[in-house]
A and B are shown apart, each in its own frame.
Chain A
Amino acid sequence: MMTYDYDVIVVGGGHAGVEAALAVARMGKTAAIVTMEASKLALMSCNPAIGGIGKSHLVKEIDALGGLMGEAIDATGIQFRRLNLSRGPAVWSTRVQADRIKYNEYVVRFVAAQKNVDVIEGLAGQILADNGRVCGMKTEAGRSVTSRAVIIASGTFLGGLIHIGDKKIRAGRMGEPAAYMLSESLAELGFEIGRLKTGTPPRLDGDTIDWSKCEVQPGEQPLPLFSHRSVREPFEQTPCHLTYTTEATRAIISANFKASPIFSGQIKSTGPRYCPSIEDKFFRFADKPRHQVFLEPEGNGTNEIYPNGFSTALPEKIQYQAVRTLTGLENVRPTRPGYAIEYDYCPAFQVMPSLETRRIKGLFFAGQINGTSGYEEAAGQGLMAGINAVLGIEGEPPFVLDRSEAYIGVMIDDLTTRSTTEPYRLFTSRAEYRLALREDNARDRLYGYAKEHKLIDDNDFVSFVSLQEKTLQEINLLRRKRVRVSEIGKLGDRFQKRESISLEDLLKQPGVTIGDALPILARFDGEFSVDREVLERAAIFIRYRGYVEKQQREIDKFKRMENEKIPEDFDFTAVKGLKQEAFDKFQCFRPVSLGQAGRIEGVTPGDIAVLSVYLKKHKG
């Protein structure tokens, strides 16, 4: 029996790698993070913020599954906001501006204190596999470390190539070497490798910005924290600012389209449509007069500002000319240039929903290597890969969330059923059961799993169950208690024809929040809970109950299709009557269930009918 140095090796110390290693450790196994500099764990390579639309839902889910991201940003955030408050609570999204350095330090300290996790400094160069089974990793310098599972979370470092104008630099991040040998090692193992592109804006010296010309965006009180484990006293938040491009910006950038590697043909891979470079914005939307740019502080201990919305790969000199045409930035001093970066990824049809690769047992991929972008997307995958690496070692079935349970499930299902055409980012519109997948109910959805896999304290679970019970009590109470329409002022406008309504009726109305109802609840002499969280959870539950129940039948149907499993070694060539396109797609994506098969692009209901008939005929 071979002995291993670690149970799991995690290649890469970014947001995916850290969550992966921590999940492994929490589940009682040993993990080593292989990274070039131990002090750079969970560094924010691009914008200094966590959360935002859809992404915040991921952070809540990561938190509910015992992950670190929520706590880390709660502790080190410098501006807290919730987006979409004018929309319904299903799409409220927390977004927190980070102190970049503090965030990184927090994670470094946390990892250092975590039992069972080591950090190994080095540049991973080769994946060691034997007989289709992973057995460790070798650094470029030649050090071998053995393990039973390996998770690759290499981000933009995998074959990274930075572009600034016509300048090309081999790097994973500005000033840091890229992992080229690792990419070759994956190719040698037989993985198909593709190329994607992303970009980052120049950074600016905040002392040289005329803030009076920019719109201020203050933080929100009370602090909307991500994690229920977090406690943070109110503090003076650092605001963000909003400014705009001008006619002069357009003139400079339009005159220099050809100087950008994005248009010159130097960059061939695709970047994200939702995060275009500034030159791309002026090119594709030529008639839009101006574009907004958010000026986000990188931290409290620095003057550096991140101009969100101004990602560019133009030559340095032109970048700086262009940025000085923004309102309030006339005299700005840039601190470093923006750039585009191309990197390798492995199209995600090569992983299973557990994120384990089909080709090599025990080898997992998480984050940008699967074609995603974003810290939160990466962290969510890292966490799942970590859990599944341990389950694999223990011979347990993998932990897979489905589309009706979590945004994590939506994301991984999208990745494993669609071909990547751009870096993947989560949006709430990707979730067909959006009204049921909310920030407020992440723990309701996932805590059972978290407990089952020992990702959280038992005490934590018990206290959550009590919160659930209290919520249920309030929901019932809100249904029973009635108020006179004449006594609730404007809130009663919609109910003119009725004499009295239940508080449930009141809270069902879109636009009515628990905040609006609090003064009314106060009239009931302490019958209602004073816990704001309990009341808010009850109110949101009431708001969406009808819709969620209406959708339940669809979810049941969806689950039935998910439960029609297709064996891992299923021979699609045996199914007669499949369209060629469907056959090719099935061979490539190897769906694990009929439901998943149906979501693959290009597959028709007819193909599913054929497959379904065949599976039923050959069952057992």
Chain B
Amino acid sequence: MRYGHFLARDGAVIDEIMAVYMPEGRSYTGHDQVEIYCHGGRQVAKMIQDELVAAGARVAEPGEFTRLAFLAGRIDLTRAEAVAEVIESNTDTSFRAARDHLLGGYHNHISQLREALIDIIAEVEASVDYPEEDIDPENRFGLLAQLDVIIANVNELVDTYRGGRIINEGFRIVIGGRPNAGKSSLFNLLLRQERALVTPTPGTTRDYLSEWIELDGFKVNLIDTAGLRQTGGAVEKAGQKSARQILKGANLVIWMVDTTKKSWKRDLGYDLKSLGDTPTMLIGNKIDLLSGAGLKRVKASDAKLIPLSCLTGKGVADLKRAVGSRITDNMPDLTSGVVVTSARHQQKLSKALRSLKAARVKLKKDETPELTAFDLRQAVASIDEITGKIYTEEILGRIFSRFCIGK
């Protein structure tokens, strides 16, 4: 670490700085690397960067350092992906999950699963390669029980993707309702009250409005379907179709009901049917316009509407609390640090799960062990595609350490 001054081309001092040189093979990227520490503030950093570029440097592409680190073998695939997630994360929870990946909690968990799986493979392989040894054939049921534990674990891991995806892509809330129910009012109210997140995704489309906000520490994708007419003539048929699709893809639908309309109860019954099993939260809007008896009716309704007024803001706190707990219910336990947030991992793990289930069927039916081994090895291969490993020697090593083999 050196101390000195950063000079511009014309010799003027830009800042007093510290700099550290990391030789090839000892830096994050594995390449020769210099880090410069300057005083805070964007302007100084920008001036230094400009000088460096003028001297022939190039600004790194997003993720380039991590790619170099991966190519140099400094980090494995899961960690490289985790770094990318940390960089992209823009809320508390996504940062936490990404950081845990980076620290390797996730990696360790997968390694443990893989280890347990190799134990089983060693048993199965031993019965193929050493038929003449009097190995106590670890009874099939013992192996089945071990395999069940692994399947349950992988299953759990695959399931965390539901939450992991929410962390990564955001919890998708679609605000729906009949015309004039107050959808846009609620949309704008929430946008005003909560921190808007800047995302690279374009926020507006022709058909609906989409924004990101942070709610209870979670990234939330809020969609206003106001632009979509829910009823109407043939011209809007296409629009109706996409409205249904948007509603279907929601993690939660906030359905707005205009409680000042006489027919709200009947309409709601009809609308709920068309919403099917999409998770839905019902809002009774415009309570500021209701009489005391009207409000009572809303509160007493079986539909359990949350009474709210976009105009006065009454009930918004209740709504946010309810939404927060819905999100939490959808989230995996983050304290373990083991959440699948990458679609690639989810895919590999699901593939592994299918192989494990196939192996289980074979083991249960007591089919020949080379076929069970086939499926188990496919499962390991899928897991290895997450981290990248080779394992034949490991299986043999396991066999020799567990059994007294050989004549």
Complex interface: chain A residues within 8 A of B134 (CB):
292
The answer to whether A429 and B368 have CB atoms under 8 Å apart is no
Tell me the nearest residue of chain A to B69, going by C-beta. Answer: A606
Complex interface: chain B residues within 8 A of A430 (CB):
392, 396
- The 0/1 profile, CB within 8 Å of A marked 1, for residues 311-324 of chain B is 00000000000000
The answer to whether A606 and B73 have CB atoms under 8 Å apart is yes
Does A511 count as interface, using CB distance less than 8 angstroms? yes
The answer to whether B377 and A432 have CB atoms under 8 Å apart is yes
In Å, the complex CA distance between A595 and B395 comes to 21
The answer to whether B132 and A87 have CB atoms under 8 Å apart is no
The answer to whether A429 and B129 have CB atoms under 8 Å apart is yes
Complex interface: chain A residues within 8 A of B24 (CB):
576
Does A552 count as interface, using CB distance less than 8 angstroms? no
Does B329 count as interface, using CB distance less than 8 angstroms? no
Given contacts A511-B367, A604-B73, A606-B71, contact A428 B393 (CB under 8 A): no
Does B370 count as interface, using CB distance less than 8 angstroms? yes
- The 0/1 profile, CB within 8 Å of A marked 1, for residues 391-407 of chain B is 01101100110001111
> In the assembled complex, how far is the CB of residue B375 from the closest CB belonging to chain A, in whole angstroms?
9
Does A454 count as interface, using CB distance less than 8 angstroms? no
- The 0/1 profile, CB within 8 Å of A marked 1, for residues 376-392 of chain B is 01000100000010101
Complex interface: chain A residues within 8 A of B395 (CB):
429
> In the assembled complex, how far is the CB of residue B78 from the closest CB belonging to chain A, in whole angstroms?
11
- The 0/1 profile, CB within 8 Å of A marked 1, for residues 55-91 of chain B is 0000000000000101111111100000000000000
The answer to whether B405 and A273 have CB atoms under 8 Å apart is yes
The answer to whether B367 and A599 have CB atoms under 8 Å apart is no
- The 0/1 profile, CB within 8 Å of A marked 1, for residues 171-193 of chain B is 00000000000000000000000
Complex interface: chain B residues within 8 A of A511 (CB):
367-368
> In the assembled complex, how far is the CB of residue B60 from the closest CB belonging to chain A, in whole angstroms?
15
Complex interface: chain B residues within 8 A of A129 (CB):
none
Does B25 count as interface, using CB distance less than 8 angstroms? yes
In Å, the complex CA distance between A275 and B407 comes to 6
The answer to whether A510 and B367 have CB atoms under 8 Å apart is yes
- The 0/1 profile, CB within 8 Å of A marked 1, for residues 355-366 of chain B is 000000010000
Q: How many residues on the B side are at the interface (Cβ–Cβ under 8 A)?
A: 44
> In the assembled complex, how far is the CB of residue A202 from the closest CB belonging to chain B, in whole angstroms?
14
Does B105 count as interface, using CB distance less than 8 angstroms? no
The answer to whether B129 and A606 have CB atoms under 8 Å apart is no
Complex interface: chain A residues within 8 A of B392 (CB):
429-430, 432
The answer to whether A605 and B370 have CB atoms under 8 Å apart is no
In Å, the complex CA distance between A164 and B363 comes to 46
Does A309 count as interface, using CB distance less than 8 angstroms? yes
The answer to whether B72 and A288 have CB atoms under 8 Å apart is no
Given contacts A83-B132, A291-B404, contact A577 B71 (CB under 8 A): yes
The answer to whether A435 and B128 have CB atoms under 8 Å apart is no
In Å, the complex CA distance between A613 and B68 comes to 12
Does A284 count as interface, using CB distance less than 8 angstroms? yes
A:124-164 near B, CB below 8 Å: none
- The 0/1 profile, CB within 8 Å of B marked 1, for residues 279-298 of chain A is 00100110010011110000
Complex interface: chain B residues within 8 A of A91 (CB):
128, 370
In Å, the complex CA distance between A580 and B25 comes to 8
In Å, the complex CA distance between A601 and B389 comes to 9
Does A239 count as interface, using CB distance less than 8 angstroms? no
> In the assembled complex, how far is the CB of residue B96 from the closest CB belonging to chain A, in whole angstroms?
27
The answer to whether B70 and A83 have CB atoms under 8 Å apart is no
Does B374 count as interface, using CB distance less than 8 angstroms? yes
Complex interface: chain B residues within 8 A of A90 (CB):
370
In Å, the complex CA distance between A434 and B75 comes to 32
Does A351 count as interface, using CB distance less than 8 angstroms? no
> In the assembled complex, how far is the CB of residue B61 from the closest CB belonging to chain A, in whole angstroms?
16
- The 0/1 profile, CB within 8 Å of B marked 1, for residues 577-602 of chain A is 11110100000000000000011010
Complex interface: chain A residues within 8 A of B25 (CB):
579-580
Given contacts A284-B404, A580-B25, contact A609 B30 (CB under 8 A): no
Given contacts A432-B392, A606-B73, contact A87 B377 (CB under 8 A): no
Tell me the nearest residue of chain B to A294, going by C-beta. Answer: B407
B:29-48 near A, CB below 8 Å: 30-31
The answer to whether A429 and B396 have CB atoms under 8 Å apart is yes
The answer to whether B129 and A427 have CB atoms under 8 Å apart is yes
**Sampled A-B contacts (20; CB under 8 Å):** A83-B132, A86-B368, A87-B369, A90-B370, A91-B128, A91-B370, A274-B406, A275-B407, A276-B406, A281-B404, A309-B406, A429-B373, A429-B392, A429-B396, A510-B367, A577-B72, A601-B390, A605-B76, A605-B77, A610-B73
Further contacts, 10 of them, CB under 8 A, given A54-B129, A510-B362:
A87-B128, A273-B400, A292-B133, A428-B129, A429-B125, A430-B396, A434-B373, A577-B68, A604-B388, A606-B71
Query: Closest 5 A-B residue pairs measured CB to CB?
Result: A605-B388, A309-B407, A88-B368, A579-B73, A606-B73
Q: Which residues of B are at the interface with A, using a C-beta cutoff of 8 A?
A: 24-25, 30-31, 68, 70-77, 125, 127-134, 362, 367-371, 373-374, 377, 381, 388, 390, 392-393, 395-396, 399-400, 404-407
